[in-house]
Amino acid sequence: MSEKFDVVILGGGNAGIGVTGPVRRAGMSVAMIEARDLGGTCPNRGCTPKKILVAAGHALHEIERASVHHIAVGKPKLDWAALIDREKDMIKDIPANLARSMAKRQVEVIKGHAAFAGPNTIRVGDRTLEARHVVIATGSKPRPLPIPGTEHMITSDEMLSERELPGSVIFVGGGVISLEFGHVYARTGTEVTILEALPQLLPAMDADAVAQLQAESERIRIRIKTNVSVKKIEPANGRLRVTFVHDGREQALEADRVVNGAGRIANVDTLNLEAGSVAHASGRVTIDAHLRSTSNPIVHVCGDAVPISPQLSPIATYEGDIVGRNIVEGPKHSPDYASMATSVYTVPALAAVGLTENAARQKGLAFDVHVNDMLGWFSARTYAETVAWSKVIVEKATDRILGAHFVGHAGQELINVFGLAMRFGITATQIRENIYAYPTFASDIKHMLGHA
């Protein structure tokens, strides 16, 4: 016997939870199937626990700079096992809290792995659910690499759990996870190497911002090699050896850990998409502008399972809300990613919103670029910043912000001012004319935009 629901959501992460608001407000019956922990990646294995390690990296950075303030400190000693315990302790109640909030919302949460059994039928364990709408919100997983020896690699899951600090780590891939964990490890004294296949780390980010971050990463002794082709990973001398070609020469490096830092892909391969008549290509569900399957429009996709949007938790929640509203109101809503602020939580962070300079050029737009190295500015000197850099791109005709990019200078907070301006059409002149509390990093914003 099948059980009937208006909406069945596969996955209880940010995206799945985002769907529940609009559909429950409309009084629809909802089942949410979750294979692991409610909350999904961000609070259990992603943003939140990672930020706890990043905060420790930040403290070590401040200690390194203490002498500038004439504070004498000894060599810091980090108890890594205790830090991991702190991290686990801070997040341990999240799934239970979310279970309570889903119960309050009258969402039926079912534990187990879900898969399609028909175009509107989902099987989980020995239960069969029939739905008027199905939502794929199953998140992402590390990208498998076509290299011999990948079974020796670990992922961010292990880095967030291992209580023993490795002496050396090689990251294969120079994306967000590699840089964020690399900065924490490097500050603890772990030897860090990042091997990136492309000419630039963080290829989606502004090239000049990445160059600033790369210089800062190298300052803290992270070894970075780009244009690298990794050939194999194998055990050697009680460690792991990574063989790669760089500068036309085959080379090898050894480390205690090798991490898959090659990004993440949509986690949809075990959903039996064929049974659900859900068209897909190269591991990606084919979707329309309203985040619906092109072949089966009662199937909606949101969050990291969407192949074309940035894999970020606020975007997962936003897409979940759009899917929820489309289910209630019909296919009216489409996502707009133009003003989504994001940060790479290195220490200091690289923060960005909108277009890179390159992307703005490729679109043929006419714009002014305001680049500032702010290291000499009072605010940066006061806090003994090691890098303080910004680039703001302003469209000539409209005076609108097209993009903003920061490295350091509280950029992970200030970027939201530019996101707000982009979303609500606040012009560069209006941002400049605002009165900011002084002395703050935000009060530098008007100088970052040059003179009117």
Ligand X SMILES: Cc1cc2nc3c(=O)[nH]c(=O)nc-3n(C[C@H](O)[C@H](O)[C@H](O)COP(=O)(O)OP(=O)(O)OC[C@H]3O[C@@H](n4cnc5c(N)ncnc54)[C@H](O)[C@@H]3O)c2cc1C
Decide whether 42 or 401 has the Cβ nearer to ligand X: 42
Decide whether 13 or 403 has the Cβ nearer to ligand X: 13
Neighbours of 124 (CB within 10 A): 20
Decide whether 345 or 441 has the Cβ nearer to ligand X: 345
Chain centre distance of CA 275:
31
Q: Select the residue interacting with ligand X from 5, 7, 16, 22 (CB under 6 A).
A: 16
Is 177 near ligand X (CB under 6 A)? yes
Q: Select the residue interacting with ligand X from 34, 206, 321, 385 (CB under 6 A).
A: 34
Is 210 near ligand X (CB under 6 A)? no
Is 59 near ligand X (CB under 6 A)? no
Contacts with ligand X by CB under 6 A: the residue count is 36
CB of 62: closest distance to ligand X in angstroms?
A: 20
Pair 392, 365: CB distance under 8 Å: no
CB of 185: closest distance to ligand X in angstroms?
A: 14
CB of 349: closest distance to ligand X in angstroms?
A: 10
Is 415 near ligand X (CB under 6 A)? no
CB of 19: closest distance to ligand X in angstroms?
A: 10
Tell me if the bond preceding 348 is cis, omega within 30° of 0: yes
Token pair, residue 186, equals 């490097």
Does the CA dihedral 326-329-333-339 come out positive or negative?
Answer: negative
Is 205 near ligand X (CB under 6 A)? no
Between 62 and 101, how does the x/- string for binding to ligand X read (CB under 6 A)?
----------------------------------------
Taking CA atoms, 371 is separated from 11, 291, 394, 409, in Å, by 42, 37, 11, 14
**Strands 2-10, 127-136: parallel, antiparallel or unpaired by DSSP?**
parallel
User: Using CB under 6 A, which of the segments 183-191, 311-319, 352-360, 362-370 binds ligand X?
Assistant: 311-319
Decide whether 243 or 346 has the Cβ nearer to ligand X: 346
Residues 259-278 that bind ligand X (CB under 6 A): 267, 270-271
Between 109 and 138, how does the x/- string for binding to ligand X read (CB under 6 A)?
----xx----------------------xx
Is 335 near ligand X (CB under 6 A)? no
Decide whether 122 or 449 has the Cβ nearer to ligand X: 122
Q: Select the residue interacting with ligand X from 36, 86, 143, 284 (CB under 6 A).
A: 36
Q: Select the residue interacting with ligand X from 20, 156, 190, 212 (CB under 6 A).
A: 156
CB of 342: closest distance to ligand X in angstroms?
A: 7
Residues 338-357 that bind ligand X (CB under 6 A): 345
Pair 430, 452: CB distance under 8 Å: no
Residues 376-395 that bind ligand X (CB under 6 A): none
CB of 386: closest distance to ligand X in angstroms?
A: 21
User: Using CB under 6 A, which of the segments 29-37, 162-170, 194-202, 385-393 binds ligand X?
Assistant: 29-37
CB of 330: closest distance to ligand X in angstroms?
A: 23
Is 182 near ligand X (CB under 6 A)? no
Sheet containing 401-408: order of strands = 342-344, 350-354, 401-408, 388-395, 367-373
**Positions that interact with ligand X (CB under 6 A):** 10-16, 33-36, 40-42, 46-47, 50, 113-114, 137-139, 156, 177, 267, 270-271, 303-305, 311-314, 316, 345
